[in-house]
Amino acid sequence: MKATDLTNFHAADAAARHRSEAGAVEAHLSTLRERLEELVRHGAQADRLADIKLQIARALVNLERGSEAWTLAREALDVFLFADDFESAADACDILFQANQPESVAALGQGIWLAVTYPIDPELTIELLNHVIEETPDDSDGAAIAATTALFLADLRATGKSRENLMFFATRVLSQVAHRHSSVSSQQEFDRWMDQLELREPEKFLVRLRDIVDVLVQGNWWFDPEELRARLPIDDDHQAPTAVAAGTNGGR
């Protein structure tokens, strides 16, 4: 087989796999829509409808139908916020960011605020922070702050086998960020880099994360962070690093 023939074969095979995967998502989407219609007919509670809407939005994002996904995920977010279901609200913000719409960056900032402020699934928190890492220029400190926060929260909140896996992942990402930011290639250089960027003390790097959140949101808050901060329990060992929760500028 000629090289060009082999290349064409692989391209055709990849296209076929993509069509197959898209077909499976479309089938799943159809099932979810039928389920939503059924729940509406039976007068289901708002939270159950929001759960299905978010699943539909996730499928739509996978099909690159971001505008449709946005509408459903945004509706679901309001329901989750009203119910104080902050993990689902952060998940909705993740979908809203992936929908790639005009307000998606603001959605990411608010999702990070929720995920860091409340003791939700650390894997979701790390996923949200990883968006910042991926979207930040190599020479910006933003990725370093996000990666450090991810490692800090994996250590603080994860347990069992999940903690081991997340710590490994977050440590590797932080090392990669250090290399791309300052060409760090040794432990000595890494230690010096951590000190220079003040990444060892949560009270310092979390304040800087708060600033990143404010830049992402640009005042376009869909909830009142000050009102939520005022309701935070004060005796939860796994509660938010308060440097992020305090001092945001915004509200509805």
Model confidence over 207-252: pLDDT tens digits?
999 999 999 999 999 999 999 999 887 655 455 565 666 555 555 5
Q: Do the beta carbons of residue 252 and residue 224 sit within 8 Å?
A: yes
Question: pLDDT band at 21, cuts 50/70/90?
Answer: confident
pLDDT at 119 > cutoff 60? yes
Q: State the average pLDDT over residues 153-180.
A: 97
pLDDT value, residue 23: 84
pLDDT at 30 > cutoff 80? yes
pLDDT at 77 > cutoff 60? yes
Q: State the average pLDDT over residues 144-162.
A: 97
From residue 179, give the alpha-carbon distance in Å to each of 140, 176, 186: 12, 5, 9
pLDDT at 136 > cutoff 90? yes
pLDDT value, residue 31: 96
What domains, with CATH codes, occur in the chain? 1-102 (1.25.40), 112-252 (no CATH)
Q: Do the beta carbons of residue 243 and residue 210 sit within 8 Å?
A: yes
Q: State the average pLDDT over residues 145-165.
A: 97
Percent of the chain with pLDDT over 70: 85
pLDDT at 188 > cutoff 70? yes
Flag whether the pTM goes above 0.85.
yes
d(CA 13, CA 21): 12
Q: Do the beta carbons of residue 251 and residue 224 sit within 8 Å?
A: yes
Phi, psi dihedrals of residue 130, rounded to the nearest 5°? -65, -30
